[in-house]
Amino acid sequence: MEFAIFKILFFLINAASVLACDFHTSKYVSHPHLGPRQLVRRGKRETLDWDYINSADWHTIRPEYATCNTGTHQSPINLQTSQGLSLNHKPDFSGYATQPQVSGTFFNWNFGPAYSLKHEGEDFSTLPAMKFDDETVFLAGWHIHFPSEHLIDGVRSRAEMHLVHVDAAGKPKSVVGVRIESVPNPDARSAFLDQLPENLIHFNDTSEVEGVTINPMSIIDEVDGLKAFWTYQGSLTTPPCSEGLRWFIPKQPLMASEAQVVKLLGSARFSHRVEQTAWLHQVNV
C-alpha cells in the first residue's frame, strides 16, 4: 500500500515538473503566411482541431469556421480549359526581380515543406511585391499541398505550392497556386526546388532551418512568367476559410524531375481540401 502511494506521489511530482518546464521554456512562433492556421511550439507542434480527411465538415468543428460551409466563393475549385484564360488582373512581379535573394525560415507546416520570409516587426512592405489592378501585396511565404488543391479539367497535379501574399499589415490578400508536375528526364530539374535544403524536414518534425536564401523570381520564371493564367475571387483553403482573396493559377506547371517530386512526397502527407462548387467566384472576370 505504501509503495503504491509512493508511486502515485512520484508520478504527480514528475508530471508537475514536466508541465512547469514546458510552461517556462515554450516559445511560440507564428509563421505569418499561415496566420492563425499553424503555430509551432519548440519541441511540440500544436495539435490542429481539423484535418483534411474531414474537410467537408470543417464548419461543424467550431462557429469560427462557419464560412467554410456558408461562403459564396470558397477555394479550391475545378478550373476548365473551356473557360479560356484571363485577360484581366494581370500580375506584375517586377517587385520580385528587385530582390533576387531573400532570407527566411524553412520548416514543415505539418503537411509538407514551407517557407516564411524574414521581415522586421509588423511591416511586410519590405518583402517582394506583386501588383495587380490597383493593389500591391507582398510575398510572406509559401507552403506545399499534396496532391494539388486545384483541378484542371477535373485532374489534380502531384502537388501545389501556394505563394501567399499579404498587405503591409500582414493580412492575406492574394495567393498564387503553382501546380507541380514531374517529367521523366532526370536533367529537367527545377532550379527553384534545388535551392531548398538538401535534407527536407519531415511532416512530424518541428525543426526549423533559419537563414535559408532563395530567389523568389525563379518560381515565376519556371511557370513562364505567369503570362497565361486563371484568376478568381476565392478564400483560404484551411479554416477559417476567410474569403476576399484573389487567386492566380498559372497555366504552366512547375516542372520537376521525378527524383525531386519523390523527395517532396517523402516529407509530406495528404493535404488537399475537397473541391468547392463554383458559385460567385467570377472566374477570369
pLDDT tens, the chain, 285 aa long: 544 444 433 333 333 332 323 222 223 345 666 765 544 444 455 678 999 999 999 999 999 999 999 999 999 999 999 999 999 999 999 999 999 999 999 999 999 999 999 988 889 999 999 999 999 999 999 999 999 999 999 999 999 999 999 999 999 999 999 999 998 887 889 999 999 999 999 999 999 999 999 999 999 999 999 999 999 999 999 999 999 999 999 999 999 999 999 999 999 999 999 999 999 999 999
284: in domain: no
59 within some domain: yes
| Total count of domains within the chain | 1
Q: Give residue 164's pLDDT.
A: 97
Q: What is the reported pLDDT for 187?
A: 80
Beta strand 151-152 pairing with 78-79:
parallel
Is residue 4 a part of any domain in this protein?
no
57 backbone dihedrals φ, ψ, rounded to 5°? -120, 20
Query: Across the strands, what pairs with 175?
Result: 164, 247
In a domain, 221, yes or no: yes
Q: Which domain holds residue 55?
A: 26-265
- The one-character DSSP state at 4 is H
Q: Is residue 270 part of a domain?
A: no
Nearest 5°: the CA angle 178, 181, 183 is 145
262 is written with which cell numbers? 519523390
Report the relative pairing of strands 102-108 and 209-214 from DSSP bridges.
antiparallel
Does any domain span residue 274? no
What pLDDT, on a 0 to 100 scale, did the predictor assign at position 186? Answer: 75
DSSP 129: E
- H or E segment and range at residue 2: helix 2-25
10, part of any domain: no
